[in-house]
Structure 1
Amino acid sequence: MPPHPDLPEPAHPDVDSMLTRKFGREIANYFSGSPINRFSFLRADHGFISKALVHPSTSFLLFNNLAPLAKDPTALAYAKYEDVQGLIGGNPFEKTEEELIKQYNSTITLPVVLFLGLDERKKEGFEHGDYKGAPYFAVDVTPRGTVEKEATAVIEEMTKRGPQFIEGRMHMTLNAPEAAIYAQARALLDWNARNPFCAGCGQPTLSVHAGTKRVCPPTDFASLPAATQGDATTVEVKPNERAACVTRTGISNLSFPRTDPTVIMAVVSHDMKRFLLGRQKRWPPHWYSTLAGFCEPGESVEEAVRREVWEESGVHVGRVLIHSTQPWPYPANLMIGAIGQAIPDGEKIHLEHDPELEDAKWFDFDEVREGLRAGTSGLGEPAPEGYVEGNLRLPPPTAIANQLLRAVVSGFLESGELSKI
C-alpha cells in the first residue's frame, strides 16, 4: 500500500540513500513534517525575537483553551501583530529575559507568546543575518487573570471575521503541514498552562526563552508596600525576596517542556500470518487497534514493548524493531512505533494481568488488509462508505497504528535483514 496522501513527505525523499535502499522509504507520520524551521538557538536572542514579533510578515496562531483558530477543520487561521498587540502588552520581547525576571510580578497575567520558527520558503520580508523567512508565533488568548478583558476582545474580533476556535479532543483533519505547526504550538502552550508553579518550591513561574522554558524568579513585586529610602519624599518600590528554591542552587534556574516516550506496537504472530489487536470498552463496535503504553524509567523501548504487550494481553514478544515515530500533542507524547514478533509458545491471550483492554484477538492479515481498505475512521466518526457491518474497523491513516499495520501487510518484514526476526 502506498503512503497515504494526507501524510507529510519525509525529509529529502528524492536523494539517493544507502539507508533507503537497505531499509526502505522513511515514514513521516501525521503531526510531524513541519514546514517551519524552529531556529531553537535564536529563542534567547533578544534582538531577533523582538524584531520578528512585530514584522509585517509574521503570523500568529491563536489558541483559546487549547482550541486553535481555524478557517475550517482542514485549515488554520492566523492573526497579525496588530490583532494581539493590546493583549500581549505591546512587545514583551523588548526587554531581555534578565530584565523580565528582575521585574517579575506574579499578580500580573502575562499571556504566553511562543516563537515557533521561520518559514524559509517565504524569503521576502524578515531577515536576521543569514536567516530569512516569515516568522510564526503562537499566543494563548484564553481569558484569564488581569488580561481577561483584552483576551475576550481578541476572541470576539477574530471570530467576527469568520474563523472560529475549533473545539475537540483531537484535531486530525488539518492539512499535514499545518497539523505539524498546530502540534508544536499546542504541546508547548499546554505545558506552559500546566506549569504555573515551580516543582521545586511551589511558587509562581515565569515563561522565558520565547515560551519554551519556565523560570522561578528569586524576587516578586506582588503585593508589596512602598519602601521609604532616605528623604521622606523619595519612595522606591523594591521586590520581595522569594523563598529559597532548589532550582536556584543547581546549574540553571529553569524547567523545560516534557516529552513522554510512549511505545505503540504492531505485534505479529510467530508464523507471520496474524496481528494481535486490542480494544477498549469505550470504542465503537468492531473497532480495534495496536497495543500501546508508556515507557518507564530505566527501560529500553524494546523492553517497554515486551512488558506492555504481556501486561495487557499475556502475549510474549521476542524480537522488536522500531519502524517510525509520531509526535502526539495530547498532551506531550512521542509515539515510538515498533513491530514485534511473538515467540512460538507465547501467543496465548490472557487479559487478567492488567485489565485495561476489553478484548484482544489475533486477526489474519487478510482481515487487516480489508480493514485498512474499507474500515478506517477516527474514534467517534462513522464507518466509511463501503464498510460491511461486522468487519474489522481500524484507526485512520493519520494514526501511527494504521501505518504500522500498513507497513507489515505491504511486505515491510519480507526482505533483507528485516526479515530475520
Structure 2
Amino acid sequence: MGGPDLPVLPEDDSMLSARFGREVANYFSGSPLNRLSFLRTDHDFLRAAFSHPSTAFLLMNSLNPLTKDDSHLAFVSHADVEPLTGADPFAKPEEELIKEFNSDKTQPLILFLGVDDKNLLPSNGTESGAFKFKEYNGSPYFAVDVTPRGTLTEASNSIIDALKAKGLTFQDHSPRRMNLVSPEAAIYGQARALLDWNARNPFCAQCGQRTLSVNAGTKRVCPPTDLSGSSDGKPRDRGPCATRGTISNISFPRTDPTVIMAVASADGKRLLLGRQRRWPAYWFSTLAGFLEPGESIEEAVRREVWEESGVRVGRVVVHSSQPWPFPASLMIGAVAQALPGEGEAIHLGHDPELESAKWFPLEEVKEALLHGTSGMGEGAPEGYKEGALRLPPQQAIANRLMYAVVEGWGLPSKI
C-alpha cells in the first residue's frame, strides 16, 4: 500500500520519530527547491537569477502547466520567455516600478520559485555552469504566466504557438489528475497557488483600485499614482487608500486551513467514511471541512465530524498535512477517535452535505486500499470487484490517513 512516487523524507533517530514513527510527506509537498524567500526583495539577485543560462522556467496557461508528457513538467529557457517578459524584467527596483505604474498596461506575471541547490531536477536543456550568488548555488527556477491577457495577448500567443510546434502541451492538471512525479508536483503546486492568488487579486481589497505584483510574485501593492491616461508622461494621483497610511500597503497570498480526518471507532476496529452524491458508486472518503475564525484544529475536527455525520469525537491527533493548490488550501490531516456508545451513532440531519456515512471494518478498508483506489474521474482499478468499497488514490491525504489507521497509527493495536 505504499504510495506511487510520494515524497520520502530522510530517516532520523530523534526522540519524536521514536515516539510517533517516521514523518509522513504528502503529494504536493516535498519540493526539491530551496525557496530562498528572503531574496525575493533582492534586486541584484533577481536580475542575475532570471538571466542566467542555467535558469529553468515553468510556463502556465490558464493555470495549466507546460508538460512534455503526462507525468513530467517541461522547463524552458530564458530565450523562450523573453518575447513576453523582456530580456531583463527586474532591471528596475520595485520603488521605481511602483512610481511608473500604468494600469492600462498588462504586466507579465513572473514568480521566483527557488533554487535547485542539490541538482535534483532536470535542466532546461541549456549546458552551462551553475548559478552562484554570494553563498547560494544551484539552478534558479521561475514560473511565468503565459495566459493571453490584455496588452500581452499577442506575445503570449506567439510563445504558446512556438511551444506547440515543439510538441509541448499545456495539460489540465486538475485535482482529478494527480499524475505528475512528486517533486515536480510540488513545484507545480507552488506556482499554481501563487498565480491563482495574483489573478484573483487585481484590485485592492480596501479601495478597489488596481494593484501591482511585487517581490517576484509573492506580494501585491496599491500604488499611490498611475500613468493611465497621462498626456504629458507624468503620473496622476490615485484615489486615497488607507493601506498607504499607517497600515502596510502590501497584501500577501492567503492559505485556507482545512481539516481532514480519519475517525476510528471507540474500539479502534472500524473507520468512519462518508460520500457525496456526485461521487462514483461505492466511492467513500474521510470527512473534511474548513476551519472557522477563532477555532483550533481539534475543535474544527470535532465540529465538522458532528455536523456532517452526527458522530462525536474525543481525542484528536494531528498526523500530517498537505498543500492543496485548488486554489489555496492547507489540508491538516488528523486521526480522531469516536466516543463510545451513543457517540458513534450516525445522524445526517445536521448538514445535508453527505449522502451517506458508514462505519467500515478496518479489514474492508485495508482491502480497498489495496484494490479499490482511483482518482475521482478515473474508472475502477484492475482487480476491483464490483460493489466493493472504493477510495481516493494514494496522492490524496485522505488515503494516507486511512492507511495510518489501518496500520494502527496512534491506536492501541494493529489489525
Shorter-chain TM band:
over 0.9
1:146-157 to 2 correspondences below 5 Å: 146-157=151-162
Q: Identity of paired residues, percent?
A: 63
- 1:56-205 matches, within 5 Å, as 56-122=53-119, 124-170=129-175, 171-205=177-211
User: Is the Cα contact below 8 Å between 2:264 and 2:270 reproduced in 1?
Assistant: yes
Structure 2 counterpart SS, 1:340: strand
2:15 aligns with: 18
Deviation of 1:85 (Å): 0.7
Q: Please state how far the C-alpha of 1:366 moved relative to its aligned partner.
A: 0.8
Deviations 1:90-122 (A, max 9, x none): 321111010100000011001210000000023
Query: TM-score, structure 1 length as denominator?
Result: 0.94
SS at match of 2:6: coil
Q: Where does the alignment leave 5 or more consecutive residues of structure 2 unmatched?
A: 121-128
What's the CA shift string for 1:305-363, capped at 9, x where partnerless?
Answer: 00111111111111100000000000000000001111112111111111011111111
> Bigger CA drift: 217-226 or 319-328?
217-226
Secondary structure (helix, strand or coil) at the match of 1:200 reads: coil
Q: Where in structure 2 are the equivalents of 1:15-414 lying within 5 Å?
A: 15-122=12-119, 124-170=129-175, 171-226=177-232, 237-344=233-340, 345-414=342-411
Q: 2:268 touches 2:411 (CA, 8 Å); kept in 1?
A: no
Assess if the C-alpha contact under 8 Å between 2:4 and 2:394 holds in 1: no
The C-alpha deviation readout for 1:147-194, integer Å capped at 9, x for no partner, is 100000000101110110002422410001000000000000000000
* CA deviation after TM superposition for structure 1 residue 413, in Å: 2.2
**CA positional deviation for 1:415:** 5.7
- CA offset digits 1:196-223 (Å, max 9, x no partner): 0000100000000000000000000001
Which is worse superposed, 211-220 or 340-349?
Answer: 340-349
SS in 2 for 1:304: helix
TM-score (norm 2): 0.95
2:271 and 2:362 in contact (8 A); partners too: yes
Q: What CA deviation, in whole Å up to 9, does each residue of 1:245-271 have, x standing for no partner? A: 121113421000000000000011111
1:364 and 1:268 map into 2 onto residues whose CA distance is 10
Aligned partner of residue 343 in structure 2, secondary structure: coil
Regions of 4+ moved over 4 Å: none
* Partners of 2:249 and 2:269 in 1: CA distance: 54
SS in 1 for 2:330: strand
Paired with 2:119 and 2:349, the residues of 1 have a C-alpha distance of 56
Contact kept, 8 Å, 2:268 with 2:412, in 1: the verdict is no
The reply on whether 1:8 has 2:4 as its aligned counterpart is no
Q: Give the Å deviation of 1:15.
A: 2.9
Letter matched to residue 163 of structure 2: M
Distance in 2 separating the partners of 1:346 and 1:22: 29
**Aligned partner letter, 1:164:** T
- What CA distance in whole angstroms lies between the structure 1 residues aligned with 2:119 and 2:180? 21
Report the Cα distance in structure 2 between the residues aligned to 1:252 and 1:271, rounded to whole angstroms: 52
Q: Which moved more, 1:391-400 or 1:245-254?
A: 245-254
Q: Aligned-residue CA RMSD in angstroms?
A: 1.4
> How far apart, CA to CA, are the structure 2 residues paired with 1:415 and 1:50?
56
* Cα distance in structure 1, aligned partners of 2:412 and 2:133: 48
Structure 1 counterpart of 2:113, which letter?
A: L
Alignment-mate amino acid for residue 6 of structure 2? L
Identify the residue that residue 124 of structure 2 maps to in structure 1. Answer: none
Which one-letter code corresponds to 1:151 in the other structure? S
Report the Cα distance in structure 2 between the residues aligned to 1:72 and 1:351, rounded to whole angstroms: 43
- After superposition, the C-alpha distances for 1:230-251 in whole angstroms (9 at most, x for unaligned) are xxxxxxx210101111211134
Unaligned stretches of 5+ residues in structure 1: 227-236
What secondary structure is seen at the aligned counterpart in 1 of 2:391? coil
Contact 2:309 2:348 survives alignment (8 Å): yes
126-135 or 165-174: which moved more? 165-174
2:284 aligned counterpart, secondary structure: coil
The C-alpha deviation readout for 1:37-84, integer Å capped at 9, x for no partner, is 000000000000011001000000000000100011100001111111
Paired residues in the alignment total 404
